[in-house]
Amino acid sequence: MVSGAILYIGFNFLKGIDLFSNSNKYYAYYSNIDGLTVSNPVTLNGFAIGRVSDISIIQERNNMVEVEFDIKEYIKIGKSSKAELVTDILGSKSVVLHTIEEEELIPPGGTIEGIIEQSIFETILDTADPIKSTILKLNSLLNGFSGTKIKLDSLLVSFKKTADGINKNIDLNQNKLQKIIENLMQLTEDLGDEEHGIKPLVGNFKTFSDSLKVLELSKTVNNLNKTLVSLDETLKKVNSGDGSMAKFINNDSLYTNLNNTAADLDKLLIDLKENPNRYVHFSLFGRKDK
């Protein structure tokens, strides 16, 4: 019996359960425990904080399964905590406690909300709906591409017709194009000819331009010479006293007479202004003033 007790204590110790530490009891209810047994661990963030201490069925609550937990005394469990029944990849059962820090706590002997982890099969079924929806969207997209493919095929046919037309026009006008190319080549050769090409033409044009410049300059110089000769003759006549201009320039009598005339005219205007009756006689009744 002692060996059995030692074996039980050692087995629970290996499972992370300290039978000599103080613990509190809590309860959770499940519709199906799926093979959960007494002594299965209760963990928090992967750390063993207790174990399943008892399991019973409550027929008064629609055959719900009551699971009793022994959880270490120092673990504080809030009102929002959940006890999730999970199954690992090897099929082992355990209870995972999900808790957050909050002021209101579940007292020892209280009930924790029990939830069951979704099975792999259920997860696959839940994932199948989005996959199915995605496949439907892809099919719709591919159908849209099908319509686009028809339009692209039509466009490619139009391009092919245009290309065929261009090739046909090139074939029909190939001789003309060849003739144009030959004419351009001949023109290039003619322009490059040292004797009859563009170089002698440019030289001749330059010579012609130079000749025009020389001719215009010569004509301008001749006209200027004639003008200077005429001006020289005019100045000689002025200096010799011939003509009216010479007399006007060389003789100051005309200036003197004009100056005297202007002075007399000025005196006349002053007298007219001061004594108008001497020059203008006016009567309202037609009589003359004596």
58-66's contacts with Cβ under 8 Å and 24+ in sequence apart are 58/29, 61/29, 64/29, 64/30, 64/31, 65/29, 65/30, 65/31, 65/32, 65/33, 66/27, 66/28, 66/29
Q: What integer is the mean pLDDT of 245-259? A: 70
pLDDT band at 16 (very low <50, low <70, confident <90, very high): very low
The per-residue pLDDT for 264 is 86
pLDDT single digits (tens) 52-101: 999 999 999 999 999 999 999 999 999 999 999 999 888 889 999 998 77
The per-residue pLDDT for 245 is 65
Q: What percent of the chain has pLDDT over 70?
A: 66
The per-residue pLDDT for 219 is 75
Q: What integer is the mean pLDDT of 156-174? A: 80
Q: Is the pLDDT of residue 146 over 90?
A: no
pLDDT single digits (tens) 263-287: 888 888 888 888 877 776 655 555 5
Average pLDDT, the chain: 78
The per-residue pLDDT for 9 is 57
The per-residue pLDDT for 113 is 95
pLDDT single digits (tens) 91-137: 889 999 998 777 789 999 999 999 998 765 555 555 556 666 677 77
pLDDT single digits (tens) 225-235: 888 888 887 77
pTM reported for the whole predicted model = 0.40
The per-residue pLDDT for 229 is 85
The per-residue pLDDT for 175 is 79
Q: Is the pLDDT of residue 290 over 60?
A: no
pLDDT band at 242 (very low <50, low <70, confident <90, very high): low
